[in-house]
Amino acid sequence: MKPYQHIAIVACHEPLLPILPDRFALETPHPYIKLGAPYGDKSPYYLRQTVLERLCQAQAGLQQAHPGWRIQIFDAYRPLAVQQYMVDYTFAETVRAEGLVLEQLTEAQRQSILTQVYQFWAVPSSNPNTPPPHSTGAAVDVTLVDAAGEAIDMGSPIDEMSPRSHPDYFALGGEQSEGDTALESDRALFHTHRQILKSAMTSAGFRQHPGEWWHFSWGDQLWAWLMCQENPAVAVTARYGAI
């Protein structure tokens, strides 16, 4: 179990509401649907009501500081079946990238790759006490686009399984991982862009995943755990369980 999964859930049973494409930029077609993820009649572009309201606040704050810029939604609500699909897909892709054969993996190799996968993907648990954050409708993966609709360069793509995904990877004086050839001026710009995104989201009450620059949540177990880390004297419970 991850530390945040020990947080109690006191479900408020808010509905899921659609993320309107005329307000936010949406990644279309949806990246996981393109891969064949089994959404069925579910849409990934939904969030809980209060989470969506706070996302609108984040957008308003962003546009005050950077007129014309918009939050782009990469992913939001994720049914449990999709979480399982993406874990399996990422596992298979990691096996391929390491030059291994899926059917010939030793148990040690399998466990090593699973450990890598679960650093970036929540376990697709059906336990109501440990739901994946995206399956609660309270987590959202986002980036930024400018007034022309062009993507703002964050220095690494969403879902990249590498140290570059850490929110502060490009901070001044940060350690570069092997193969990273980014110029210092580019690194500073990437960090500035990530800070703009973080500022917009956290000013609306969201909290950022410690290891993923793109992942923010409000009201789920991860959010509650991060709130408790900021102020240990205050007990915070999660508002949203799995849907």
Report angle CA 60, 218, 40 to the nearest 5 degrees: 95
Q: pLDDT per residue over 159-192, tens digit each?
A: 999 999 999 999 966 667 666 767 787 999 999 9
Q: Which pLDDT value is given to residue 1?
A: 85
Chain mean pLDDT for the chain: 95
Q: Which pLDDT value is given to residue 15?
A: 96
Q: Which pLDDT value is given to residue 120?
A: 93
What pTM was estimated for this model as a whole?
0.94
Whether the CB-CB separation of 223 and 47 falls below 8 Å is answered with: no
Residue 57 Cα distances to 53, 64, 203, 231, angstroms: 6, 11, 8, 23
Task: Decide if pLDDT at 61 tops 80.
Answer: yes
Q: Which pLDDT value is given to residue 179?
A: 60
- Cα separation, 225 vs 232, whole angstroms: 10
Decide: helix, strand or coil at residue 229.
helix
Average confidence (pLDDT) over 73-77: 98
Pairing of strands 215-217, 139-145: antiparallel
Q: Which residues are catalytic?
A: 212
Give all domains of the chain, ordered by start, each with its CATH number. 3-230 (3.30.1380.10)
Q: What percent of the chain has pLDDT over 90?
A: 93
Q: What percent of the chain has pLDDT over 70?
A: 97
Average confidence (pLDDT) over 75-101: 97
- Cα separation, 26 vs 231, whole angstroms: 34
Whether the CB-CB separation of 126 and 83 falls below 8 Å is answered with: no
